[in-house]
Amino acid sequence: MGWNDHIDDSELGNLPPEAFSPFNVDGPFDPQDHWLETADEEEQRIAMREWFLARFCDPAIETPYNGREGGYLFINGGPYDPAHEISHRFAGIVDDDVIQEVVHDLCTEVGNQWAPIRDDFPSDFDFDERFDLQLLTSNEPLDKLKARLQHARLVLTLEGDEVAKSLAEKLVFGGTVAALEAFLWETVDYWVEHDERALHDIVTRIPALKDQPMKLGDIFKQHAGLKEYVKGYLQNLVWHRWDRVAPLFKTGLGIEPPSFKPFEEALVKRHHIVHRSGHDKTGNPISVTKEEIGSLCDMIEVFATEIHAKLAPRGLPLSEKNDWT
């Protein structure tokens, strides 16, 4: 069973187009936060329920049952409690009373022990050496980001044909968002590569990693390639999926990242530029101004600098300390 097997029986058709994120067309349903905050309660209930059912299922569907012990064997991870999963995703966005209504309904139907839909927890994260990062110091991700943003600003000073300048501005806007994603990836990758504590916390606290099933005979093989496995996960991660990125910093690296919400509109505009040739979903051309790009660059630099500062108390990893001795 995969997450898309649920679509035919879902209520997604009752939600408006603005409920759907343009960034996970091929993945399980994940509603737009800014839409959800102002949606009516019935739409909020549908959205939260569909989000949960796209990721979790009744363990009776595909989870082995141990009759002797009188319970399911959650070999693919879990069990997962709707109260925890829904609250973790939607607290602060939807009123607690509405959250509790959805949790109550789900628990009434199946209980508080659900199994993961395996499409949401892939069993293999291919590591590609060609895309491996070579970061020697903890300052590099921020330094690289600042250099990329500076190069973006330089492009905006070019003169020439107005049509070409307009296209360049759109490409710079998209590249600026990509610079933010690169910073996030490089930061996490650096600490995974150089800090055993970060590697341990990410493996043991991030669901997509900690809930991976493993045969006993594979333990030593998996342990030997653990860092490469995690780096493969980072390579395959969509770095503008804030719900996947934020836990890497919060539970993996032990810091509370600044809010990602200020970048939501920029993500939508970047999506239109990259995937719709500079037009929105109704076919209207997207406009980008130099002032808008400058403001986005400033906002990204402030955001990244705050993350870098919050990570400073972790101290230099052993590899960097050795470089100074």
* Segment 158-215, tens digit of pLDDT: 888 988 888 899 999 999 999 999 999 999 999 999 999 999 999 888 877 776 666 6
Query: Do 80 and 186 fall into the same domain?
Result: no
CB neighbour list of residue 111: distance below 8 Å, 6 or more residues apart? none
Region 126-136: what's the mean pLDDT?
76
Q: Is the peptide bond before 82 cis (omega within 30 degrees of 0)?
A: no
pLDDT confidence bin for 324, thresholds 50/70/90: very low
Determine contact, residues 285/202, Cβ cutoff 8 Å.
no
Average pLDDT of the residues in 119-140: 71
**Rounded CA separation 222/155 (Å):** 46
Domain end marker among 86, 120, 154: 120
Q: How confident is the model at residue 8 (pLDDT cuts 50, 70, 90)?
A: very low
Strand partners, 116: 56
Q: State the residue range of the domain holding 32.
A: 3-120
Q: Between 46 and 64, name the one with better pLDDT.
A: 46
| Domain end (from 89, 120, 151) | 120
Distance, in Å, from the CA atom of 133 to the CA atom of 231, rounded to the nearest integer, reads: 9
Alpha helix (H) residue ranges in the chain:
33-38, 41-53, 82-90, 96-109, 140-155, 162-194, 196-205, 207-210, 219-224, 226-236, 242-247, 264-275, 290-311, 318-324
Which tokens in the block code for residue 245?
Answer: 């990125």
Whether residue 182 is found in the same domain as residue 246: yes
**Do 38 and 135 fall into the same domain?**
no
> What is the model's pLDDT at position 123?
47
pLDDT exceeds 60 at position 227: yes
Assess whether 52 and 199 both reside in one domain: no
At residue 152, the pLDDT reads: 92
* CB of 20 closer than 8 Å to CB of 137: no
Give the total number of structural domains in the chain: 2
Buried residues in 91-106 as b, exposed as e (16+ CB within 10 A): eeebeeeebebbbeeb
One domain for residues 106 and 139:
no
Same domain flag for 139 and 113: no
pLDDT at 238: 80
Structure tokens at 28: 């399980």
Give per-residue pLDDT as tens, 246-263.
Answer: 999 998 999 999 999 899
Same domain, 292 and 218: yes
The per-residue pLDDT for 87 is 93
Note whether 104 and 39 are same-domain residues.
yes
Question: Please, is 120 exposed, middle or buried when counting C-beta atoms within 10 Å of its C-beta (0-12, 13-18, 19+)?
Answer: middle
> What percent of the chain lies above the pLDDT cut of 90?
44
Does residue 245 share a domain with residue 224? yes
Q: What is the pLDDT of residue 77?
A: 76
Per-residue confidence (pLDDT) for residue 3, from 0 to 100: 46
DSSP 64-115: -EETTTTEE--TTS--B-HHHHHHHHHBTTB-HHHHHHHHHHHHHHT-S-BE
The first and second tokens of residue 247, run together, are 């836990």
Mean of pLDDT over the chain: 83
Of 30-39, 47-56, 80-89, 233-242, the range with the lowest mean pLDDT is: 233-242
pLDDT at residue 2 tops 60: no
Domain shared by 175 and 228, yes or no: yes
Check whether 121 has a pLDDT greater than 60: no
Q: How far is CA 103 from CA 14, 53, 84, 94, in A?
A: 20, 12, 9, 13
Listed residues 77, 98, 120: the one ending a domain: 120
Residue type, 294: G
In this structure, the dihedral spanned by the alpha carbons of residues 292, 295, 297 and 300, taken in order and rounded to 10 degrees, is -120
pLDDT per position as a tens digit, 60-69: 776 776 555 5
* 69 in the same domain as 46: yes
Q: What is the pLDDT of residue 189?
A: 94
* Same domain (yes/no): 102, 141: no
Task: Give the pLDDT confidence score for residue 70 in this predicted structure.
Answer: 57
